[in-house]
C-alpha cells in the first residue's frame, strides 16, 4: 500500500471500496499536474507501477465515486487527496475554501473548486538507510524511566543546541540533550505526536499553529516541520538518525500515537484524505444519520476500527515504525476508542486481538491512555495482559496525598506498591501501571505545586 520505490520505479496502491475511478496525480516542482488513471483493481486496491518515478516525487489522488453525504458517501474528485500510507508529505494547507467539499457560505451546496495548490502533497521516499549495528535496547518495564517530551519544545531555546537545529529531530539528538536525559537516569524518551499533523483552521485564521500535534493524518510519516532538512522526504532519514543516536546511548524511543481520530474533523471539516477516499470505511458514522460522525474523542470523528482496511492501516503503521524506523514502543492516545466494537469498550476487540498475535508489534512496549470521552470510556485496569497503562488513579491519589487530603494514606500505599486492586485480578504485574503525577495534559510539575488556577495567559 502507498508508494513503494524499488530502485527502478515506484508502485502506487490505494484502497477504496466505493470508488468508480481513481487517478494518480503527479505534481512537478512548478505545481503542474499529470493525471494517470489507475486501471488495475484487486480486492478494492487500486494500483499501478510507474518506471522512472524516483524519491522526491510529489503526488496525490483524485477519487471518483458517489457523492451522497446523507448516506455517508463523500467522493470528491475536485480535491487532491493525501495518501493514507504516504511516508512523507510536502507543502502546506493554506485554509482556502477549496479544501472543503461544501460551500462555506451555503453548507447545503457542494463546492467543486480544485484544491490543488492549497493542500499538502504526498511524497515518494527513498527507503534505504544504513542502520549500522543499531539495536533496540529492550529495557524491562520494571527498569524503565519514561521522559515525555516535545521535539520542538525540548530544543527550541536550548543554548547548547545549534540554532539551525533547534526544534528539529537533529536538534533532539544533539549530545547536550542526550546527556541531560542520561544524567536524569531516563531509559526511554516518549515523543509527543510526530506523525504528520494538520494546522487547525481556527488557529490558522489567528496566525497561530498547532503546537501539541494531536491532530494527525499521516500515520506513516514523521512531521515535516520538525526536520532541519527541508528537501521533500528528508524528514525520514533525519528521524532515523535521531533514533539511532538515542539507541547508541541505550535510550529507547516511544511514540505517542493518535489512531483514534483524524484531522478531518466532523461533517463541517475539510476533505483532505480519508473522507474523500472512502468515508464510511475509515470513519464511524451515526447509524441512523450517516451524514454525521460518531465522536468518542471530542475532535469531531472517530476512526472506524471495525473495518478491516482501517485496522490494516493501523497495524501496518505500527509495524512500519518498528521495522523501518526502529521504534521501541507506543503510547496510544485515548486508547479506549480503539476498543469500541459497537458502542461499548471491549477488551476482546479485533484491535487487541491483532496486536496480541502480531509477531512484531506484540514485542515492543505498548502503553494505553486507558480512557476516551465516550460513555464508559474510563478503563484503567481493564486492558489486556501485554499492555501497560497510564495509571490515572495513581496520579489522582498522589496529588490528593500531596495536598493533605484526609483518608488517602491507605490508597496512597496501594498505588505506590503496584495498584493490585486494578491489575492482580487478571494476573498482571505491577509493571502494568505507568506511574505518573503530571503529563502534557494540564500543569507541569512545577506549576502544579505553585498555582491553583490556570495561568497560561499567552495561550488564548
Give residue 188's region: left, alpha or beta (phi > 0; psi -120 to 50): beta
Over residues 394-401, mean pLDDT? 89
The whole model's pTM is what?
A: 0.92
Q: Which of 94-108, 236-250, 427-441 has the lowest mean pLDDT?
A: 427-441
pLDDT at 342 over 60: no
Over residues 57-84, mean pLDDT? 97
User: Rounded distance, CA 316 to CA 309, Å?
Assistant: 10
More confident residue, 50 or 444: 50
Q: Which residues are catalytic?
A: 333, 369
HSE (CB half, 13 Å, CA atoms) of 198?
28
pLDDT at 460 over 70: no
Boundaries of every domain in the chain: 2-124, 141-459
Q: What percent of the chain shows pLDDT beyond 90?
A: 67
The pLDDT value recorded for residue 408 is: 79
The pLDDT value recorded for residue 73 is: 96
- Average pLDDT of every residue of the chain: 91
**Would you identify the CATH topology of the domain 141-459?**
TIM Barrel (3.20.20)
pLDDT per position as a tens digit, 266-303: 999 999 999 999 999 999 999 999 999 998 888 899 99
In this prediction, residue 345 has a pLDDT band, given cuts at 50, 70 and 90, of low
Over residues 168-172, mean pLDDT? 96
The pLDDT value recorded for residue 428 is: 86
**Would you identify the CATH topology of the domain 2-124?**
Immunoglobulin-like (2.60.40)
pLDDT per position as a tens digit, 404-419: 887 778 888 889 888 8
In this prediction, residue 459 has a pLDDT band, given cuts at 50, 70 and 90, of low
pLDDT per position as a tens digit, 87-145: 999 999 988 999 999 998 898 899 999 999 999 999 999 999 999 999 999 999 999 99
Report yes or no: 89 and 122 within 8 Å, Cβ to Cβ. yes
CA of residue 130 relative to chain centroid, distance:
25
More confident residue, 48 or 439: 48
pLDDT per position as a tens digit, 416-430: 888 888 888 878 888
Angle, alpha carbons 87-312-91 (nearest 5°): 25
The pLDDT value recorded for residue 213 is: 87
The pLDDT value recorded for residue 392 is: 87
Amino acid at each position: 500500500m502507498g508508494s513503494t520505490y524499488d530502485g527502478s520505479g515506484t508502485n502506487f496502491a490505494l484502497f477504496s471500496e466505493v470508488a468508480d475511478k481513481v487517478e494518480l496525480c503527479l505534481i512537478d516542482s512548478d505545481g503542474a499536474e499529470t493525471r494517470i488513471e489507475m486501471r488495475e483493481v484487486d480486492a478494492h486496491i487500486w494500483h499501478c507501477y510507474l518506471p522512472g518515478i524516483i524519491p522526491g516525487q510529489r503526488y496525490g489522488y483524485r477519487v471518483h465515486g458517489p457523492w451522497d453525504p446523507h448516506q455517508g458517501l463523500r467522493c470528491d474528485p475536485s480535491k487532491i487527496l493525501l495518501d493514507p500510507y504516504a511516508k512523507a508529505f510536502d507543502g502546506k494547507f493554506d485554509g482556502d475554501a477549496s479544501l472543503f467539499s461544501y460551500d462555506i457560505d451555503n453548507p447545503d451546496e457542494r463546492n467543486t473548486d480544485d484544491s490543488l495548490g492549497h493542500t499538502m502533497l504526498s511524497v515518494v521516499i527513498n527507503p534505504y538507510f544504513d542502520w549500522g549495528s543499531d539495536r533496540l535496547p529492550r529495557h524491562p518495564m520494571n527498569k524503565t524511566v519514561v521522559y515525555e517530551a516535545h521535539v520542538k519544545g525540548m530544543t527550541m531555546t536550548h543554548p547548547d543546541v545549534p540554532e539551525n537545529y533547534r526544534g528539529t529531530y537533529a536538534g533532539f539528538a544533539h549530545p547536550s540533550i542526550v546527556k541531560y536525559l542520561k544524567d536524569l537516569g531516563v531509559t526511554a524518551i516518549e515523543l509527543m505526536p510526530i506523525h504528520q499533523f494538520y494546522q487547525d483552521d481556527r488557529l490558522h485564521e489567528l496566525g497561530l499553529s498547532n503546537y501539541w500535534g494531536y491532530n494527525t493524518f499521516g500515520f506513516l510519516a514523521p512531521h515535516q516541520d520538525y526536520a532541519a532538512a527541508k528537501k521533500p522526504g528528508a524528514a525520514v532519514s533525519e528521524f532515523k538518525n535521531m533514533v539511532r543516536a538515542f539507541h547508541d546511548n541505550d535510550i529507547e524511543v516511544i511514540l505517542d500515537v493518535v489512531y483514534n481520530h483524524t484531522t478531518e474533523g466532523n461533517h463541517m471539516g475539510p476533505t483532505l484524505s480519508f473522507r474523500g477516499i472512502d468515508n464510511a470505511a475509515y470513519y464511524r458514522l451515526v447509524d441512523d444519520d450517516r451524514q454525521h460522525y460518531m465522536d468518542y474523542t471530542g475532535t469531531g470523528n472517530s476512526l472506524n476500527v471495525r473495518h478491516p482496511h482501517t485496522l490494516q492501516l493501523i497495524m501496518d503503521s505500527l509495524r512500519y515504525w518498528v521495522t523501518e524506523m526502529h521504534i521501541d514502543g507506543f503510547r496510544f492516545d485515548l486508547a479506549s476508542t480503539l476498543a469500541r466494537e459497537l458502542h461499548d469498550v471491549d477488551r476482546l476487540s479485533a484491535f487487541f486481538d491483532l496486536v496480541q498475535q502480531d509477531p512484531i508489534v506484540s514485542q515492543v512496549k505498548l502503553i494505553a491512555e486507558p480512557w476516551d470521552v465516550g460513555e464508559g470510556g474510563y478503563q484503567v485496569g481493564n486492558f489486556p495482559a501485554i499492555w501497560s497503562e497510564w495509571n490515572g488513579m495513581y496520579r489522582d491519589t498522589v496529588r490528593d496525598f500531596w495536598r493533605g487530603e484526609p483518608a488517602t494514606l491507605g490508597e496512597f500505599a496501594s498505588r505506590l506498591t503496584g495498584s493490585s486492586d486494578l491489575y492482580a485480578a487478571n494476573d498482571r504485574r505491577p509493571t502494568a501501571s505507568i506511574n505518573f503525577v503530571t503529563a502534557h495534559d494540564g500543569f507541569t510539575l512545577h506549576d502544579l505545586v505553585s498555582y491553583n488556577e490556570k495561568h497560561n495567559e499567552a495561550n488564548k
